[in-house]
Amino acid sequence: MMREELQSGLTVLHLMVHRYRKVYVAFPLYLLFLIVMFHLPKRWAPDVLLGFLLVPFGLGLLWTVFGFVNADADIASSDTAYSSWILRLPLKTRSLAIWPMLAATAWGIGSWLILSLLCLKYRFTDVSIAWPALAVAALALIFQAILWPPVKVGSMRMVLAMTLPTAVALFGTIATANKWTAEVICEVYAGICLAAAGFGYAGLVNARTTPSRGKLKRESVEAVSDIAVIQHSKKPFRSPEAAQFWLEWRMQGRLLPLLTILVLALASVGLFFERDDIIQVSSVYTYVNSSGHTIGSSFNQNFFLKTYLPLLPWVPLVLATIIGLGARPASLRGADGAFHLYHATRPLSPSQMYWAKMKSIGAGTLLACGATVLVMLVWGILPINESMVSATMTKWGPLPHYGRSSFLATELTSMDAQGTLRLTLMLWAVCLVTFTLWTWRNQAVGACMDYVSSAKLAKAYPLAVVIVSASIITIWQSSQSLYQVPQGLWLLCGVLTLWIAAKAAVAAFGLLKLKKLRPSESSGASMAIAGWLAAGSVAAIALGVVEHSEGEYNFYMCLRHPVPELLAFVLVPVARPILARIALETGRHR
Amino acid sequence: MGQGQRQRKDRRWTVAETVIEVKGLGRTFGNHRALDGVNLTLERGTVLGLVGQNGAGKTTLIKHLLGLLRAEEGTVRVFGKDPVADPPGVLSRIGYLSEEGDLPMWMKVEELVRYSAAFYPGWDQQYCDTLQKEFGLSSSAKLGSLSKGQRARAGLLVALAFRPELLLLDEPSSGLDPIVRRDILGAIIRTIADEGRTVLFSSHLLAEVEQVSDRVVMVQAGKVVLDEELADVKETHHRIEIAFEQAVAAPIIEGAFGWQCEGNRWTAICRADIEDIQLAVDKSGGRLIRTVGVSLDDIFMARSGSKLG
C-alpha cells in the first residue's frame, strides 16, 4: 500500500518536473558551487563577488519550487492551473496533492538550509535560519493554493498571485523589524502553511470534480442559444485607432490603475489602525542660546504616515515594472509566441498598433499616478491625534502646541518653521513628475516583449532584467568604498559611456533593420533616436542641476558631473522601443 | 453542379480583373520546403477551392496572401498591392476565417462586432444584425463561453458583415458539426451571389469544395499539382481499369497516376481523352476494361498516394 502510494507520488513528481529536469540538476550544482565559493579565503572570494553570485539564488529557488505548482501555468486563466493531463491520470487526489506539496516545501526548505547553514553562516553571523525556511515553504504552498483551484475570474487569481505571496514574503522582515521573536514568526508561518495546504487540497478536489468554468458557461449559453439578443449599447468607435486603443486599454492599460488602486486601498487599511501611533521626534528645531548651549525641541509625529507616505509614489512604479516584465498575457500573441490571427489580420499598420499600446500605457500611468497623489493627499489631510499644530518661539526655544490636526498641516508648519517649505514642495513636484515618467517608461520598455514572437525570449526577458538589475544593485551596494574615492567617478563614467554606446549601437542597428523591413516607417525610428537625444538632454540638464545644487552633500564622490548627465541618457529609453517596433514587424509579417 | 457554380455560370465576366497574383512563391521553414515555385492567379468573381493534404502548404499560401508571411522567393499581390507593404490597404478588403478561429476570447459578441466594425468603412450593420440573428448569437455572450461551432459563426459574422471583396476561408468547417458547416457554405454562396465577390476556400471536405467552387487548385508538398476549372477537372479525369494476361509491372500511360494493382488488373486515375487512353492501353499490351468518371475526392486520394475506394 505504502509502496504503491510512493510510486504514485514519484510518478506525479516526475511528470511535473521532467520537462525542466535540467534546471533541477543545475540548481543543486549551483548550490554546490556557492558552498565552495563561501569556503574560500576572503582574499580569493571577496564579499562583493559572493553577493554577486547570490543573485540567481532567489530566482532559481522560485523557478524550481514553481515546478511543483505547474511551470507552464497560465495565471490569468480561470480554469485550474494544475496540469490537465496529469489531473486525468487514474491516481488518487491525495497523491496528486500531497506529493507536490511535500516536494515543494522540502525543496524550498532544503535549499534555504543549505544556503544559510553551509554558505551564509560562514561569512555573516546574523542570519535567521528557521523563519525564512518556513517562509519559503509557505510561499510554495500559497502558489499551489492560488493556482490549483478553478476560480470565477481569471484576473482575480492574477491579483492574488501578485499580492498575497509578496505580503507573505515581506511579513517576516517587517515582523523582525518590529521586534517579533523568531518563534512567533515561525508559528505564524506554520499557520499559513497549514491553511495554504488545506486550501490547495480543497482546490484540487474542486478542480477534479467540477468541469472547467468555460465548459459550464458554454452549456448555459447553449441552453439559450436560440434566443439571439441584438444589442448596440455603445456607440461605434470613431476610428480604427480608437478601437485599437480600446483593445490595448482592456488588455494592458487599465491593469496598472486597477492594481494601484487595490494596493493603495490595502495600504490605507493600516492607517485606520495606526492613526494614533505617534513617535517623538527630537531636536527638530535647534539653536544656540546666549549661554552657548544648544537648545533643541521635540514634537510628536505619526509613525505610520511618516514611514509609509513617502513610499506611496513607489506603488505604481513597482507595479508598472512587474507588468512591464510580462506578468500578464500579451495582447497580440499567444504564449507560444505566434501572433493571434484575428489580431494580426486587423487592417492596421504596425505603427498604428504600436502607438495604440503606448497611448493606453500612458493613460493607465496617468490614472495610476493621479490616484496615488489623491490617496497621498487624503492621507495627509486626515486628522490624526497628537500632532503639533503650532509653535511659539520663546527664549528657551520653540514651544510646540499639540492638538488634533492633519499630518500635512503639521509637516507644512514644520517645514515653514525650518524655512524649507518651498524647496520641499518643489522637490515633491519634481519627484512626482519623475516617478510618473519612470512608471510609463518601465511599462513602455517592457512592451517589446508583447510583440516578440519567440516564446523562449519572452520567458527569458524578465529573468534577464531581474538578474541585470540585481547584479547592478549588488555591485553598487558592495562597492561603496570605491564610489567614495575620486577614481570611482571615472570608473562609473567609463561604464555609463559603454552602456550608452551599446544602446546607440542597438538603436542604429534597429533603424537600419526597420528601414529594410518597412522603408515607409523608418522615419519613426529616426524620430525615436531624436526623441532619445532630446529627452536625454532635458533629463541630463535636470539631473545636472540637481547635482549642482546638492553637490557638496553628495554621499558618493562618483555621482559628480558628468555622471548624472550620462545616467540620463542611460535611463531614457531608445533601444527597446525600436526593438519592440521591429519585433512587431517581424512577428506579424514573419 | 453546385449552386455556386450555377450562379457563377450565369455571370461570366467580360473583363477579368485580377484579385490575387502569386508568382514563383517559395518558402522554407528550417529544412522543410513549405512552398516551392507556386504560381496562382485569381480573377474577380471566382470561387477557388484550395485542396491538399495536411502540411501541403495551403495555410502557408493563405498566410502569404494575408501578409502574415513575407515572400522569401517570388511575389504576392492582392488587389495589385503587396500585403506586407500595405496591410491596411489589403486587409480592409479581405474577410478571413480560419480553422483556429483565434478570436479574442475575453470579448463579448457585442464587443467583437463593435471592435471589428471600426476597421471596415463598408461595414453593414443591418446585414450584421441579420446574420447575428440567423446564427443565434447573443450579444451578451462571451466568446470564451461559446461552443466551437458558435465561435466559428461569430468569426464568420465579422468576416462577412462588411461584404468583403475577397473572402479567404482556411479550413473553416474543420471539426464542426453539419449545421455549422451548412451555415459556412451558405455564407459562401451568399457571397458569390453578391456581384463581383471572390472566394478562396481551403478545405479537406472535398464534397463541399465540389459544391461551391468553380476552380480547384491542388497543392502537394508545396507545389501546385493541379489548377483547373472544376468542370474541366471532372471532364478530363477518368478512373481506368486495365487487365493483362498475366501480372505485370504498372503500365506507362501518360497522365495516369495513383496506380494500384490487384492480381493482373491495374486501376488508376488518368487525365487524358478516352481515345488517347485506349491507344496507350493497347500499346502496353493490356485491355481497357472500363473507364468511369471520378469525384474530386478520388483525384485527391490518387494524387496523395492513398488507396482508391
Share above pLDDT 70 across residues of chain B, in percent, rounded to a whole number:
89
The mean pLDDT of A154-169, rounded to a whole number, is 79
Q: How confident is the model at residue A136 (pLDDT cuts 50, 70, 90)?
A: very high
Tell me what the mean pLDDT of segment B95-101 comes to. 80
Q: A139-148 burial by CB neighbour count: b if 16+ within 10 A, else e? A: bbbbbbbbbb
Contact between A230 and B87 using a beta-carbon 8 Å cutoff: no
**B36-49 average pLDDT score:** 87
The answer to whether B102 contacts A341, with C-beta atoms less than 8 Å apart, is yes
CB contact under 8 A, B118 and A339: no
Pick B100's closest partner by Cβ from A236, A341, A346: A341
Minimum distance, in Å, between the CA of residue B207 and any CA atom of chain A: 27
Taking residues A441-465, report their average pLDDT: 81
In sequence order, what are the beta bridge partners of B256?
B270
Burial A493-519 (b: 16+ CB within 10 A, else e): beebeeebeebbeebeebbebbeebbe
Question: Given pLDDT bands bounded at 50, 70 and 90, which one contains residue A521?
Answer: confident
Give the closest of A230, A242, A588 to B139, CB-based: A230
- Residue B298 phi/psi, 5-degree rounding, is -60, -45
If you compute the radius of gyration of chain B from its CA atoms, what whole number of angstroms results?
A: 22
Tell me the chain B residues in contact with residue A341 when contact means C-beta distances shorter than 8 Å. 68, 96, 98, 100, 102
Average pLDDT over residues A165-184: 85
pLDDT of residue A199: 92
Q: Which of A61-75, A223-237, A558-572, B267-281 has the lowest mean pLDDT?
A: A223-237
pLDDT-derived band at B8 (thresholds 50, 70, 90) equals: very low
- pLDDT value at residue A414: 67
Give the rounded percent of residues in chain A with a pLDDT score beyond 70: 81
Closest-CA distance, B223 to chain A, in angstroms, reads 21
- Among A106-110, A138-142, A468-472, B190-194, the minimum mean pLDDT is found in B190-194
In angstroms, the CA B116 to CA B103 distance is: 11
B147-158 pLDDT, tens per residue? 888 888 888 888
pLDDT digits (tens, 9 = 90+) for A21-35: 888 999 999 999 999
Residue A58 pLDDT greater than 80, yes or no: yes
In three-state secondary structure terms, A124 is coil
Structure confidence at residue A499 as a pLDDT band (50, 70, 90): very high
- B287-293: strand order across its sheet: B256-262, B265-271, B237-243, B287-293
CB contact under 8 A, B136 and A226: yes
Question: What is residue A395's predicted lDDT score, i.e. its pLDDT?
Answer: 55
The residue among A157 and B154 whose pLDDT is bigger is B154
Cross-chain Cβ contact B145/A226 below 8 Å: no
The answer, yes or no, to whether residue B4 has pLDDT greater than 70, is no
* Position A193, amino acid: C
Burial class of residue A380 (count of CB atoms within 10 Å of its CB; 0-12, 13-18, 19+): middle
Rounded mean pLDDT, B128-132:
87
Section A559-568 average pLDDT? 84
Interface of A with B (CB under 8 A): 214, 217-218, 220-222, 224-234, 236-237, 239-240, 242-243, 246-247, 250, 339-350, 352, 518, 520, 588-590
pLDDT at A68 over 50: yes
Residue A465 — very low, low, confident or very high, per pLDDT cuts 50/70/90? confident
pLDDT of residue A217: 52
Q: Which of A66-80, A214-228, A489-503, B172-186 has the highest mean pLDDT?
A: A489-503
pLDDT value, residue A293: 54
Average pLDDT of the residues in A240-256? 90
Helical (H) or strand (E) element with A199: helix A182-209
Distance from CA of B68 to the nearest CA of A (A): 4
Helix/strand/coil for A521: helix
Measured CA angle at B88 (ends B86, B90), to 5 deg: 70
Predicted local confidence at residue A283, as pLDDT: 46
pLDDT of residue A298: 53
Residue pairs between chains A and B whose CB atoms are closer than 8 Å: 120
Q: What is the pLDDT of residue A391?
A: 55
Nearest to B188 by CA among B82, B88, B49: B49
Highest average pLDDT, of A408-412, B112-116, B194-198, comes from B112-116
In chain A, the percentage of residues whose pLDDT exceeds 90 is 17
* Distance from C-alpha of A168 to C-alpha of A188, rounded to nearest angstrom: 10
What is d(CA B92, CA A381) in angstroms, rounded to the nearest whole number? 54
pLDDT of the residue at A402: 55
Q: What is the mean pLDDT of chain A?
A: 80
Residue (of B57, B61, B86) closest to B74 by Cα position: B61
Are the CB atoms for A146 and A82 separated by under 8 Å? no
Categorize the per-residue pLDDT at A129 as very low, low, confident or very high, splitting at 50, 70 and 90: confident
Nearest CA distance, B179 vs chain A (angstrom) = 14
Please write the tens of the pLDDT for every residue from A326-375: 766 777 777 777 788 888 888 888 888 888 988 999 999 999 999 999 99
State which H helix or E strand residue B290 sits in: strand B287-293
Task: Give pLDDT tens digits for A264-299.
Answer: 888 888 777 766 666 555 444 555 555 555 545 555
The grid coordinates of residue A95 equal: 497523491
**In the prediction, which pLDDT does B13 show?**
42
Q: Of A481, A529, A459, which Cα lies nearest the Cα of A47?
A: A481
Give the per-residue pLDDT at A101: 93
- Please name the member of B69, B133, B137 whose beta carbon is closest to the beta carbon of A590: B69
**Tens of pLDDT, residues A424-444:** 777 778 788 888 888 988 888
Whether the predicted pLDDT of B201 surpasses 60: yes
